[in-house]
Each structure stands twice: as structure tokens, then as C-alpha cells.
Homo-oligomer: A and B are copies of this chain.
């Protein structure tokens, strides 16, 4: 900036005025400065600028998700970007891979960078470490999972309701031997979805088929293995509730290989690309809606909203595409009469 000033024979302050488009500079001087800036390839330094304009915003928000390559996270990211774009804000995105340590490291790093806010799909079980930030009213919005150990805004899908809807749907179609495949116990959403499944059994007065409930199904491979194991049981499940999109993929792949796509009912949680073509019935969470709601909450906080934290729950939706409407297969032994 000093160089530009020297080259155009004015003070640095005047260059600053030109660069920021402030009024009160003679057009002639303005042109001279602009020309010099262009000639010298001058690039405005936003970091220094923000440092000086003390209370100003950096125009960046941090987004921590599980894995930016996962369609859920990617859609969330995109919805947030769309929400932030009109406000000229950019996104610093990071994948956590369900790693608590990385979550804390990234959060700390982002705060040092003075991001204006955070969107967090937490990997950690508790987020007490954020207490100081909450105390000073730093905007943090939790997405898809509620905060624990602190209180701050969150927007999430009602996973429990979704799990309940899925299993209730299968029960309504006459299934009793329903397998429930969910991710690791430590993940709150997985717990909620399984709890919802249990709710549905209870509401229908059906005993939970304990031997068919599997948690810790954390990958496509594990899901496929689980399907194979379950279908080899003496009294195999006639329907499967798969608690996550990666699990659904493994389930469908395994069923396809076994030639059982048309005989075993499946309802998945999480829609994913092409599941319509696959005819997979799912509990759909509207990720775009989720992202938009999260963005809205964050923007409200950024513009000074001091109201108490809100915890919004969005209802998922059952999408019937065939796989969830398959009746119990006749191969399954008839239920003994009471």
C-alpha cells in the first residue's frame, strides 16, 4: 500500500480511501491511485483490514461435519453456503470422521482465526469445552445433533420419530421379524433411531425381536455381513430397518447378491442419490431444509439475536418406493397360534 502511495504521489490513507471506495477523493486522484494499484499488482489485505476495524467480521464461518464427501454432509454444506452467500460469507469446511480429538483441534483453530460463527455436527459426546465461547455469546449452531454439556442453538431431524415411522410402517405391512441395523452406540442419532424403532414395537404391542437388533454397524461392509448373518438364521427377518444411508447401501448390495431384493422388505433412514431408481423406501430428512434452518439461526445470532437458545426439530418424511411395502415372505415359518 505504501508502494502504491509513493507511486501515485499521495498518502497511504488516500490509497486506503480509494481501495475502500470511500467518498471524498478527487476523481482525478482516484484514477491515478487505481492505475498505480493495478500496475503494481496491489492486493488488499483483508486480515490487516479486519484487525484494524476492530469489531468487524471476518466473513467466514466454520463448518464441521462428519465427512464432506458424504452426501448428507455435502448437501448440508451446500445449503449453508446458499444461506450465507447473500451475506458475502464464506465457509471453512472440515471433516471430523467422528473423531473427538479432531473436533476440538479444529474448533480451537477456527476460533483463533476469528471465524464469525460455527456450525457443528459434533463427533464428541459432550461439548463442555465450548462453554467459554457460549458464555461470551459466540454464535454456534448445532446441526443434526443436539449439544450436550452446554446450551446453544440446534436444528435437528427428529431421529426418534423417524425410527418409529420406519418400523411402524413395516409392522403395518404385517412384518414381525424386523431387523434393526444401526450405527455405533456412541452416536446420538443412532441411539435415537433405534429408540424410535423400539417405540414402534411397543406401540404395536409387539415384543422387540432382540436377536435381530444389531448396533455398531458402521460401514457398508458390516451392513452386508449383518444381512448375510441374519438371513441365515433359522427364523430370519422378513424386513430390515437400516438406520443410515451407508447401511442401506450395504443392505441393498447384499440383498441384490443374494437375489432377495424382491422378497425382503427394507426401509432406510436417509435418502440418498438414486434411491428412487432403486425403489428403496426411506425416511427422508430434508437436508436442504435443515441447512437452511441452521443458516437462518446463525444469521439471526450474527445480527444480534440474544434470545435463549432454541432447539428445533424437523419431522422426517416416509417415502414409499416399493421396498418397504413388500409383504412378509411365505418362506418364513407361520407364527404359532397363541
- A92 with B272: CB separation less than 8 A: no
- A278 with B276: CB separation less than 8 A: no
Partner of A43, one of B46, B67, B111: B111
Chain B CB within 8 A of A320 CB: no
**Complex interface bits, A61-75 against B, C-beta within 8 A gives 1, otherwise 0:** 000000111110111
Nearest first, the 8 A-B pairs at minimum CB distance are A69-B78, A74-B74, A46-B112, A41-B132, A47-B47, A69-B74, A274-B274, A93-B93
Q: Which of A50, A69, A113, A272 has the most CB of B within 10 A?
A: A69
The A51-98 residues at the B interface (CB cut-off 8 A) are 51, 58, 60, 67-71, 73-75, 77-78, 81, 90-95
Chain B CB within 8 A of A233 CB: no
Q: Within 8 Å CB of A95, what residues of B?
A: 78, 81
Q: Within 8 Å CB of A92, what residues of B?
A: 60, 90-93
Q: A91-B93, A93-B91 are in contact. Are A114 and B68 (CB under 8 A)?
A: no
Q: List 8 A-B contacts (CB under 8 A).
A: A43-B112, A46-B112, A46-B113, A60-B113, A69-B71, A74-B74, A93-B93, A277-B278
Copies in the complex: 2
Q: Within 8 Å CB of A177, what residues of B?
A: none
Chain B CB within 8 A of A338 CB: no
- B276 with A274: CB separation less than 8 A: no
- A96: min CB distance to chain B, Å: 11
Chain B CB within 8 A of A159 CB: no
| A interface residues, tally (CB under 8 Å) | 49
Partner of A272, one of B50, B81, B106, B273: B273
Partner of A252, one of B48, B77, B111, B277: B277
A74 to B252, CA, bound (A): 23
- A71: min CB distance to chain B, Å: 7
- A108: min CB distance to chain B, Å: 9
